[in-house]
Structure 1
Amino acid sequence: MIYRQIEPTLRRLAAGFPILALTGPRQSGKTTLARALFADRPYVSLEDPAERAFAQEDPRGFLARFAAGAVFDEAQRWPDLFSWLQGMVDEVRVPGRFVLTGSQQFGLLAHITQSLAGRVGVAHLLALSVTELSAPPLPPLELDRVLLAGGYPAIHAHAIPPGDWLAAYVETYLERDVRQLVNIVDLNTFQRFLKLCAGRTGQLLNLSALAGEAGISAGTARAWLGVLEASYLVHLLPPYHRNFGKRLVKTPKLYFLDAGLAAWLLGIRDPTTLALHPLRGALFETLIVSEVLKHRRNAGAPPDLYFWRDNNGLEADLLIEEGAALQPVEIKSGRTVTPDYIRAAQKAGRILGDAGRLPWLVHGGEDTYERSGVRVVGWRSLGAALAGS
C-alpha cells in the first residue's frame, strides 16, 4: 500500500477522540487507509444493502456486534448511526473506538455537527501528494506525468491509463453524485459547465460569466459549484482577509484539486499537447496550490491559504498563513529560473514589508536554493520545504 502522510494525524486523532471521521473526494483512498490503519476493528460497509437493512430494522441488534468498536464505511448512508454512536461513546468513552468514512457532499460532516460535536476528530484525505507519489514502490516521477495523471491512487497503484480512469471517474462518480444532489435536466449542460470550470482553474471566479457561457442561471452555477466544492473537486482560494490597505480584488480564485482531472476535462491527453497548451502554466499553478492544501490537510491543519492583489500592483499567487506569520509564494511553471521570475517573487515579498518571511519561488525545475532574497524551490522539493517551514 502507498504510504499516506495523513497517517500520523489519524493516529493522533484516534488517540484523543472516541470517534474518528475520515472524509474526502471519491476514490482518494479513504477505505483502503482506514482498513489498513485500523485492521484490528471489524469493517462494515453501509453501502451493503443487507447491512444497511439490518441497521435500519434493528439498530440495537446491529450495533451490539460492534460494542468494542468498528470501521463504518460510507457512514452517511445510515443517518441514524450518528445518534446511536453518541449514546454509546457517552456511556463508554474509549479513544479511537469507532472510525467513520464517507463523503462530505452526502452529509457526513452535517451529521457529525448535529450529533457528535466534541466526540469526533475529523480528517480530510485528498488525492496523493507529490511526496507520496515519489516514494517506492512507485516509479520515478516526472512533472508532465503528474500534470496529466493527477494523484488519484488507483491510476498509480494499478497502472491504469489516466485517460481511461478519469473518463470513468467523471461518468461513474461525478455525474452520479451530482444528480443525487441537484436536479439536472440536461446532463450535457453540466458536462459543459464542468469543462468550463476546468478552463478557469487558476483564474478569478466570475460566476455570472461562467453561468452565461454554460447557458444556465447564476443561481444554478452557484449551486453546481457548491457541489463541486463539497465533493473536493474544486477549491475557492479567497483573497487575504486582513486589510493591508485598499484591495483591488475581492473575489476568489477557482482551482481544481487535481491537475490531472482538470487536464483531462480540457482535452489534454499527451505530453506534446500539454507542452503547447496555453493553460499549462495554470495547470502547474493548480498542482502547486493543491499540494500546499494537501500538506495542510494531511497535518490536520485548516487550509488558511489566500492570494493577494492590490491596486498598487503587488501580487502573490499564494499566501500561507501560519499563526501570525505569512509565507508569500510565487508560482512559475518554467524549468529555468529567470531574472523575471526572481523579480516577481521579490515583488510578492514586498506585500509584507521588512517583517515578512523570505518569499518563495516555486518553479517547474529541480533546483532549490536562495538567490537575491528569494528562496527558490523546485516543484519536487515543495513537500520538504513545507515540512521545514
Structure 2
Amino acid sequence: MMVNRILLEKIQKSMDFFPVVGIVGPRQCGKTTLVRQLMAESHQKFTYLDCEHPRDLAKLTDPVLFLESNQDKCVVLDEIQAKPGLFPVLRSLIDVQKKPGRYVILGSASPDLIRDSSESLAGRISYHELSPFNILEVHRRSELTNHWFRGGFPDAFLQEDDDLRSEWFYNFVKTYVERDLPMLGLGLSPSVISRFWRMLATIHGNLLNKSNLSKSLEISYPTISRYLDFLEEAFLITQLYPFSANLKKRLVKSPKIYLRDSGVLHHQLNIHNYDELFGHSILGVSWEGYIIEQIRQKLPTG
C-alpha cells in the first residue's frame, strides 16, 4: 500500500538546486520507498546503491571510478552511515562539476552523528528529515487511535495483526540494540542498551532525572548525558525543554523525555493491543508524546 509522503515535493525542489540531497531518519521509516517513488516520478536517470549490501559495496571499491562513470545519472547512496569515507570523495567530485541533483544520500542517523558528513559537504547539501508516517499522511486510511497505538513506522502501522506487529517491533528493537547503535558508536553492550531504552520508556513524559539513570545503570552522569544526546541524534527519543524567555534558565532546567514513536513506546512497555493501552498508567503521557511528535514533524527545521 503506497502512502504519499509530504516530504517528496520538498526533496524534488531541493534537487533542482543542490548537488546533494540528504534524507535522514530512523531505520525502517520509509526512506528507501520514498526515494524509489522519487526515481519513478523523475525524468532523470538514477543508479541506486545500498552501502550495506556486499554486491553494491564491491562496486565502491574504487568510488571515484564508479561515481565518475555514472556522471550522467543521479547516484543514490542508501545507508551511507555504513561508508562515511564516501563524503570526502563526493566533495571532491562536486567541486570539479557542481551541478544540481548529482547525488541523493540516505542515512539512519543525523548529519551530526555521521562522521565527516557535515564538514565535507557543507554548502553542497540540503538535508531533510523523514519521520515515520504522520497523521496527515494516513488520516484517510486509519482512525487516529490506530495511528497512536501502532505508531508511524510503515510496516507496523499497516500490519493489522497484533501478534505480527509485536514480532516486527521485537526485531526492530533487536536490530537497533545489537547492530545499528553500536555501529554508530554507542559504546554500550547490547544488554545495557536494551535496559537503557526500556528505562527511558518507563519515564516517558516525565522530567528527566539523569542521576537516577546513572545509579540504576551504574554509568557516570556525563556518560548518561552523552548517550541521551546520541539516542536523540538517532531519532529515537526527544528531550523537550521548558519554555522560558530567559535562555539560560531554559537550558539549565530539566527536560521531559519522550520516545518519539508511540508504537515503539508501547512495545517497550509490553502493551500489545489497544485495550491494554487503555488500562495502562502510561495512557496520558503516551497521548501527550504522540501529539508532541505530530506537531514536531510540522515545525520548520533549524
TM-score range, shorter chain: 0.7 to 0.9
Cα shift at 1:92: 2.2
For structure 1, list consecutive stretches of 5 or more residues without a partner in the other structure: 304-389
Q: Which one of the candidate residues 166, 174, 179 is aligned to 1:171?
A: 174
Say if 2:68 is the partner of 1:64. Answer: yes
The worse-fitting range, judged by mean Cα deviation, of 171-180 and 18-27 is: 171-180
Q: Give, in whole Å, the separation in 2 of the partners of 1:244 and 1:217.
A: 27
Change (3 A) 1:283 1:18: same
Question: Which residue is equivalent to 1:204?
Answer: 207
**Quick one: which amino acid aligns to residue 269 of structure 2?**
L
Q: Give, in whole Å, the separation in 2 of the partners of 1:178 and 1:248.
A: 27
Change (3 A) 1:245 1:76: closer
Change (3 A) 1:8 1:106: closer
Cα RMSD after superposing both structures: 2.5
SS at match of 2:16: helix
> Higher helix proportion, which one?
2
Q: Give, in whole Å, the separation in 1 of the partners of 2:98 and 2:176.
A: 36
Say if 2:253 is the partner of 1:253. Answer: no
Say if 2:76 is the partner of 1:75. Answer: no
Cα shift at 1:282: 0.3
Percent of pairs identical after alignment? Answer: 32
Kept in 1, the 8 Å contact 2:277–2:283? The answer is yes
Kept in 2, the 8 Å contact 1:19–1:119? The answer is yes
Q: Deviations over 1:334-372 (max 9, x none)?
A: xxxxxxxxxxxxxxxxxxxxxxxxxxxxxxxxxxxxxxx
Q: Give, in whole Å, the separation in 2 of the partners of 1:48 and 1:272.
A: 41
Say if 2:32 is the partner of 1:31. Answer: yes
Q: Which one of the candidate residues 131, 143, 156 is aligned to 1:141?
A: 143
> Higher strand proportion, which one?
1
Q: Give, in whole Å, the separation in 1 of the partners of 2:170 and 2:200.
A: 16
Question: Which residue is equivalent to 2:116?
Answer: 111
Q: Deviations over 1:258-307 (max 9, x none)?
A: 011111111211222211211100000010111011122xxxx226xxxx
Cα shift at 1:158: 5.0
Question: Which residue is equivalent to 1:327?
Answer: none
Say if 2:54 is the partner of 1:53. Answer: no
SS at match of 1:204: coil
Q: Give, in whole Å, the separation in 1 of the partners of 2:265 and 2:121.
A: 35
Change (3 A) 1:46 1:244: closer
TM-score by length of structure 1 reads: 0.69
The worse-fitting range, judged by mean Cα deviation, of 280-289 and 227-236 is: 227-236
Q: Give, in whole Å, the separation in 1 of the partners of 2:187 and 2:60.
A: 29
Q: Give, in whole Å, the separation in 1 of the partners of 2:102 and 2:249.
A: 50
**Quick one: which amino acid aligns to residue 25 of structure 2?**
G
Q: Give, in whole Å, the separation in 1 of the partners of 2:6 and 2:143.
A: 17
Q: How does 1:82-121 map to 2 (within 5 A)?
A: 82-104=87-109, 109-121=114-126
**Quick one: which amino acid aligns to residue 186 of structure 2?**
V
Question: Which residue is equivalent to 1:129?
Answer: 134
Q: How many residues align?
A: 293
Q: Give, in whole Å, the separation in 2 of the partners of 1:67 and 1:132.
A: 35
Q: Deviations over 1:172-219 (max 9, x none)?
A: 22332223323334x333322211101111111111112223343323
SS at match of 1:60: helix
For structure 2, list consecutive stretches of 5 or more residues without a partner in the other structure: none
**Quick one: which amino acid aligns to residue 85 of structure 2?**
D
Change (3 A) 1:247 1:216: closer
Kept in 1, the 8 Å contact 2:19–2:124? The answer is yes
The worse-fitting range, judged by mean Cα deviation, of 28-37 and 264-273 is: 264-273
Cα shift at 1:246: 7.3
Change (3 A) 1:31 1:211: same
Cα shift at 1:142: 4.1
Larger Rg: 1
Q: Which one of the candidate residues 217, 220, 243 is aligned to 2:246?
A: 243
Question: Which residue is equivalent to 2:4?
Answer: 3
Q: Give, in whole Å, the separation in 1 of the partners of 2:247 and 2:177.
A: 40
Q: Give, in whole Å, the separation in 2 of the partners of 1:107 and 1:244.
A: 23
Q: Give, in whole Å, the separation in 1 of the partners of 2:89 and 2:20.
A: 12
Kept in 2, the 8 Å contact 1:35–1:43? The answer is no
Q: Give, in whole Å, the separation in 2 of the partners of 1:237 and 1:177.
A: 24
Question: Which residue is equivalent to 2:265?
Answer: 262
Kept in 2, the 8 Å contact 1:25–1:231? The answer is yes
Q: Give, in whole Å, the separation in 1 of the partners of 2:228 and 2:250.
A: 25
Q: Deviations over 1:137-158 (max 9, x none)?
A: x3x3141x22321110112345
Q: Deviations over 1:105-162 (max 9, x none)?
A: 6966542211110000000001110111223xx3x3141x223211101123454632
Cα shift at 1:256: 1.0
Change (3 A) 1:114 1:142: closer
Kept in 2, the 8 Å contact 1:239–1:249? The answer is no
Q: Give, in whole Å, the separation in 1 of the partners of 2:252 and 2:93.
A: 49
Kept in 2, the 8 Å contact 1:26–1:231? The answer is no
The worse-fitting range, judged by mean Cα deviation, of 39-48 and 253-262 is: 39-48
Q: Give, in whole Å, the separation in 2 of the partners of 1:154 and 1:111.
A: 31
Change (3 A) 1:8 1:93: same
SS at match of 1:288: helix
Q: Give, in whole Å, the separation in 1 of the partners of 2:241 and 2:156.
A: 31
Question: Which residue is equivalent to 1:16?
Answer: 17
